[in-house]
Amino acid sequence: MKILVANLGSTSFKYRLFDLTTERQLARGGIDRIGGPESRCTVEIGSFKDEVTAHVPDHAVAVKFCLEQLTAPETGCLKDASELDGIGFKAVMAGALSGVRHVDDALLAGLERYAAIAPAHNPPYAKAMRQLQGAFPNLPQVAALETAFHETAPPELRAYAVPHEWQTQYGIQRWGFHGASHRFISQRIAELKGRSDLKVISCHLGGSNSLCAIRDGKSQGNTLGMSPQTGLPHNNRVGDFDPFALPVLIQETGKTLPEILDILANKSGLLGLSGLSGDVRDLEQAAANGHERAELALKVFTQSIRQYIGAYLTVLNGADAIVFTGGIGENSSRIRKDVCSQMDFAGIEIDLAINEKLRTEGKFSTPTSKIELWVIPTNEELVVARQTAELLSKS
């Protein structure tokens, strides 16, 4: 079974093609600046790599362009588009419509209903899915919702302390996100350890960030709450924030609530703290050169991670492993060191030499550390491909 996995932004389309009989990745690519005068289109099929510019007005045309790349006579990996069994979307949230679902009117309505919760994701996904239904009516579409993995979290870790009917009637609760990544980590660490009865804290650190407490392969809680804007600071999103600061900001700045929310969603986080960049690589270089606000942003970030690790150690009653993944988790030895140092109260011992050079899958705790420290590169797309194939097989 061949599954195309799509990861969409408002002006971007990234994809990977998998053959699920062997779980082999056949191709990957992407299109940036969709809707602009010139879109950048990349593709990688085996040893073949190419990059071109073209006018791609919408996501339906982006998928057509992608299929042209995959079926090209000389370089493609498909004879024709009919070899494709389905397309799986790493969708974010549709409220109570969670899990892995066929894309239908109810799912699309759910995405659109909660567009304000995930403004960078839900609108482009709903729009693209509708466009693809018209352009490819016979191509099955599946949405793997990011909230699905966290449905196993106990009620006390999902509920806000608000009137109960807000949760039951309006869906105001901690939904949790990054489900595909945390699911992959739970599966991979079980393979590496040869057992599934593990207590794991998964740290997905990248453009957006979250921690997940996992017991026996099941989520017990996620730092992201009602929306992907919460929890840890993100590259340009605020993370945890007191809502009672909003009327103060409206009064003092003269800005409207939508304007303030836009700042919190797009100009805050590490970018807002540093005034320089939301990219940890830029901040680490600047901090090394004495940039005080870059240093502050990094310290706020690591301290937030440490606080949530402490919280999840109490949720799980300890841990067998703490796993770092995502662009930051896999590549920033400084962040890993700052997070894991001075954790001797929990029996955590970091091997500084291994940590400094580790950029691939591996363990960087000492042999005597009571909690193992790991770097495991995530593979969200493979998880979505598996989920899509499973649903289509049942259908």
* Confidence (pLDDT) at 395: 79
Nearest-angstrom CA–CA distance, 375 and 365: 10
Q: Where are the chain's structural domains? A: 2-145, 193-375
3-state secondary structure of 285: helix
Do the domains spanning 2-145 and 193-375 agree at the CATH topology level? yes
87 has binding-site annotation: no
For 89-123, write each residue's pLDDT tens digit: 999 999 989 999 999 999 999 999 999 888 878 98
Is 329 labeled as ligand-binding?
A: yes
What's the CA angle centered on 319, arms 318 and 321, to 5 degrees? 160
Q: Which two tokens stand for residue 278?
A: 């939301």
Own/partner long-range contacts of 223-227 (Cβ < 8 Å, ≥24 apart): 223/308, 224/174, 224/175, 224/176, 224/177, 224/178, 225/160, 225/174, 225/175, 225/176, 226/117, 226/160, 226/172, 226/173, 226/174, 226/175, 227/117, 227/118
End-to-end, the C-alpha distance of the chain in Å comes to 14
CATH, domain range 193-375: 3.30.420.40
- Quote the CA–CA distance of 185 and 136 in Å, as a whole number: 33
Instruction: Find, among 186, 188, 241, 243, the residue nearest to 216 by Cα.
Output: 186
Cα separation, 177 vs 196, in Å, equals: 22
Question: Is 95 labelled a binding residue?
Answer: no
33 is in an annotated binding site: no
Residue 279 annotated as binding?
A: yes
Burial of residue 266, with CB atoms counted within 10 A of its CB: 0-12 exposed, 13-18 middle, 19 or more buried: middle
The percent of residues above 70 in pLDDT, for the chain, comes to 100
pTM recorded for the entire structure: 0.92
Mean per-residue pLDDT, 227-255: 96
**Per the annotation, does 328 bind a ligand?**
yes
Asked whether residue 260 is marked as a ligand-binding residue, the answer is: no
Q: Is 281 annotated as a binding residue?
A: yes
138 labeled binding residue: no
Instruction: For residue 331, say whether it is annotated as part of any ligand binding site.
Output: yes
* pLDDT, tens digit, 9 for 90 and up, residues 332-375: 999 999 999 999 999 999 999 999 999 999 999 999 999 999 99
pLDDT of 10 reads: 66
Instruction: Identify the CA nearest to 234 among candidates 120, 321, 311.
Output: 120
The answer to whether 37 and 16 are in contact (CB under 8 A) is no
Q: What are 114-163's pLDDT values in tens digits?
A: 998 888 789 888 988 998 888 889 899 999 999 999 999 999 999 999 99
Is residue 29 annotated as involved in ligand binding?
Answer: no
Three-state DSSP state, 395: coil
Q: Class of 2-145 per CATH? A: alpha beta
